[in-house]
Every structure is written in structure tokens, then in C-alpha cells.
Amino acid sequence: MKKPNILLITSDQQHWNTLGAFNSDIQTPNLDRLVKEGTTFTRSYCPNPTCTPTRASIITGMYPSQHGAWTLGTKLFEDVHTVGEDFHEAGYKSALVGKAHFQPLASTEQYPSLEAYPILQDLDFWREHNGPFYGFDHVELARNHTNEAHVGQHYALWMEAKGCLNWRDYFLPPTGTMDPSLLHKWPIPEEYHYNTWIAERTGALLEQYKDDDQSFFLWSSFFDPHPDYLVPEPWDTMYDPEQLTIPVAAPGEHEQNPPHFQLTQMEKPDFAPWNEGKFQVHGYHSHSALYSEHDRKQLVATYYGMISLMDKYIGQILNKLDELGLADNTIVVFTTDHGHFFGQHGLQAKGGFHYEDLIKIPFIVRYPGNVPAGVTSPAIQSLVDLAPTFLSLCDIPVPHHMTGLDQSQVWCGQKSQVRDHAICEFRHTPTTIHQKTYVDERYKITVYYNQTYGEIFDLHNDPGEICNLWNDPEYQPLKTELLLKYVWAELGKESMPMPRVWHA
């Protein structure tokens, strides 16, 4: 029997509760179709709530503290083993279309980057370069979210090939000429949107694999709904801001939290003690002064519109699988790289705040005849598990150095769980912003490097994570227990690159 194919579909920075099947505020008919035809895992976590570290974990099966791409602005070194190499050795073809973000936007002599200026916008280079790249045989890349000036690479070439010779009109200076004051409605025609590009190029690769009778590992990597909040018409008016439920902070909820939570709610906070270096520190700024109530409602409406537009093109990819007769032998996984705040706890976007809104993610698996259909499962998942699980399901040996767990029996309904916890890391500076979170079936604990403050939340009795139990005298025995479990978890995820083969 032919080995199964893998189709990984990801969004970028999508809150876990933005699937229409579970949230009537939003429409996602194609993702809802996956929910009906597969298993939705309701306790799935990212290994880091930023792009580069988590995306590198997806292809390495290791945590950011292990693979080396520990924060934004770093890179995954090219000599680190990736899952694409394993698929290549097993005779698979592999490809990535869309966002990679394994490397930074700046390139240095010591740390060169293909995703950096100026090569990012050297279209002659990208016209001839489609890989290999981090174990993928073939890549078609872009680097911009919505109208960012980082646009270039294969996406710009595709727009030109489609006749959109004025593509710079839809992107910000200095690359383009779009007015930076335009909000929510992106004037780019939908036919030139990167969702259209990703779906079209994914479909072309699927056709090629079908024609060649070739097993494949294909990652379709969407950019939305990552801010800035822009979407072409009519999706910009699909949701009425006044009809949406907008989350807000609970009064006094940050009084027992570490100091950086409290500072976010001030109009002019001083984050100088955390600024260890010259680069942006995500989330360490005022969140209360970012938007008016009206603006917050509008950005959520736009965020939902971005998701619904993306859902349309995910549907086109799923339809192409059906059209080519590939669906029954293809494992489809939909997820995102990390979550998002749009008002929860008074926060916006992302940063060093390990609430469920940021570290828990949507996660759906479909594999007809193998993964139960129409099921929701509370079995804990981590994106670090994707690589070993994909390999296991394809009957390819899992490298010993991978520290993610093989979830294949859980996905196929043969085991209730293989994890009793997940770990999420966030290290944004060398020492001042360095934290890890351990979360199990009921509790969550977050510890900070060189700090005596922290967080403990009871997710059963306090699912909104309003009451931090860290300093509560009644819960000090629980704190001791959770700290010990966290240490055990850290010990348990250490890499063992080879088995012991002899006495000495």
C-alpha cells in the first residue's frame, strides 16, 4: 500500500476560538468541514508564542531552547536536521508555499539570511531559486504580512506573472506607494492577494505530485490573520463591529501578576529594566492606550474577515485534493503557529503573557478511515510533536534527537493520550525576558529566570485565568508540586541523539 501523503496547512497568529464550528460569531465553513471529517484537539499548544521559534520547532521536532532559533530576529542554522530530510530519504517530495520565517530580515556576514534585505527583493534571484531550503525540495516564499514593505520573493514574481505590474501600489513605502493611513480595507484585488497565490501554487504542486504518482509532504503556510489588520473587499465589511463580543480585562486581575502585566495597563509605562538590547521587545509597552473601544471592535471585525477569507482558499486546497483523488490517502493537519490577544486581559497581539489565548491553538487532523471523524479530544498536543508524528504515520524512522512525542496512536483514536503536559518557552532577551510555562490537564505554572514572581492558574475553576495563585498561602503546597513537575518535564525533554549501544 502506498504511504500516506502529508498536507500541513497553517495560519499565522490565530486565536484558538476562531473556528465557526465552535464560535457562532465567525464563519469558517471549510475549516468546519475539517472539524466534521476529522478530530479537533482542544488542548493544543505552541512551543513558543512567536513565529521563528515555533516554525523551527515544527520542522525539527525540537524545542526552541534545543534547535537554537530562540527568538525573533534569530535563525535556524542550516546544519540543523529537519523533517524534510527524513521525507527525502524515504522517497517523498517536499515543498513549502507561503511563509517560512526561519531566518531574520537582516543578514550579517556571520549569520547570513535568505529572508533578508536586499536579497528579499532581488526578483532575479528568486526567479531562479526554489530550493532546497531547510529540507524542502521546493519552496515558494514571501515575507510580508498584509501590506508590509517586506513584500518580494516568489509572491511578487507571481503577481507580475498574473499581470499585476502595479503591485507596489498595494504595499507600504519604501517598497511600495500605499498610503499608510488606510486602515482595515486593503485595496489589493482579491485575485492578487497572497491567499490566492498560496492556494493556486499548492494546487499546482498537488497536480504535479498526482501526475508523477509521487508521495509528498507539503506545507501550505498562510500569513493571515497576523496584524496589521487589513483585508480586501468585501471581506472588510463581512462582520459588523457592533455585533461582536469584544473581550476586556477583569477589574484588578493584574494586581497579583508579575509587574510587566500591570505596566501594560498604564498609559506611559517604563519598561526600561526589561530592555536588554536595541531591538523591539514584543508586548512590553502600553496596551491600554493602543485603541479606543470603537477601534478595538473594528479590528476584531477585520481579524475575523481575514480568517474567513483565508478559509475560502483553504477550501480550494481541500477541493483540489478531492478533485485529484488524493484526499483518502492524505493526512491533513490545520493549525497555527501561536495565538493572539484582541482584548483578553487588556492585551493586544502577543508578548510575554502565557495565557491560553496566546499559547493554545486551533488544531484539526483529518485522515479518512484512520483518524476518527467528528470528534473533539482533550488530549494535549504540542507543535513540537508534528515532525515525529508525521514520520511515524508514514512508517519512517523518527530520529533519536527529536524531543517531540509521537502522537500517531492518539490521532488515530488508539490511545487517549501520550502527553500529560505541554511546555511553552519565551525568551526574548538573553536574561531579562526568559520564561517557561508548564501546563497539564488542570494547572498552569509560569516561571521566570532569576525572578521570584510567577503565575499559577487553575484552569478548571478559573478558566478565564483571572486569579493568580502564585502567592496565595493556601496554594503553596500546590506551587511546590507544580515546580517539581515542571523540573521533571524539563528533564524529560532533554535530547538523546542516539541510544546507548554498549557498557562503555
What tens-digit pLDDT sequence spans the chain (504 residues)?
A: 689 999 999 999 999 999 999 999 999 999 999 999 999 999 999 999 999 999 999 999 999 999 999 999 999 999 999 999 999 999 999 999 999 999 999 999 999 999 999 999 999 999 999 999 999 999 999 999 999 999 999 999 999 999 999 999 999 999 999 999 999 999 999 999 999 999 999 999 999 999 999 999 999 999 999 999 999 999 999 999 999 988 999 999 999 999 999 999 999 999 999 999 888 789 999 998 888 888 999 999 999 999 999 999 999 999 999 999 999 999 999 999 999 999 999 999 999 999 999 999 999 999 999 999 999 999 999 999 999 999 999 999 999 999 999 999 999 999 999 999 999 999 999 999 999 999 999 999 999 999 999 999 999 999 999 999 999 999 999 999 999 999 999 999 999 999 999 999
C-alpha cell at 114: 535568505
C-alpha cell belonging to residue 113: 539570511
* Residues contacting residue 286 through CB under 8 Å, at least 6 positions apart: 263, 264, 265, 266, 267, 268, 269
Question: Cell numbers at residue 135, please?
Answer: 529540507
pTM of the predicted model as reported, rounded to 2 decimal places: 0.97
Count of positions (residues) in the chain? 504
Copy the grid coordinates of residue 406: 509521537
For 74, other C-beta atoms within 10 Å of its C-beta total: 19
Query: Which cell goes with 13?
Result: 497568529
Query: Pairing state of beta strands 44-45 and 381-382?
Result: parallel
Dihedrals phi, psi of 128, to nearest 5 degrees: -110, -5
pLDDT score at 443:
98
What is the model's pLDDT at position 2? 85
Give, in degrees to the nearest 5, the angle at Cα 317 between 313 and 321.
160
Alpha-carbon dihedral sign for residues 98, 63, 281, 13: positive
Helix or strand (DSSP H, E) at 332: strand 330-336
**What φ, ψ does residue 358 adopt, rounded to 5°?**
-100, -35
Distance CA 47, CA 235 (A): 32
Q: What is the pLDDT of residue 222?
A: 98
The answer to whether 190 touches 159, Cβ cutoff 8 Å, is no
Nearest-CA neighbor of 116 among 162, 172, 52? 52
CA 382, 385, 390: angle at the middle one, nearest 5?
135
Cell for 195? 491567499
Q: How many CB atoms lie within 10 A of CB 173?
A: 11
The 3-class secondary structure across 291-319, one letter per residue, is: CCHHHHHHHHHHHHHHHHHHHHHHHHHHH
In the numeric block, which cell numbers belong to residue 487?
Answer: 523540573
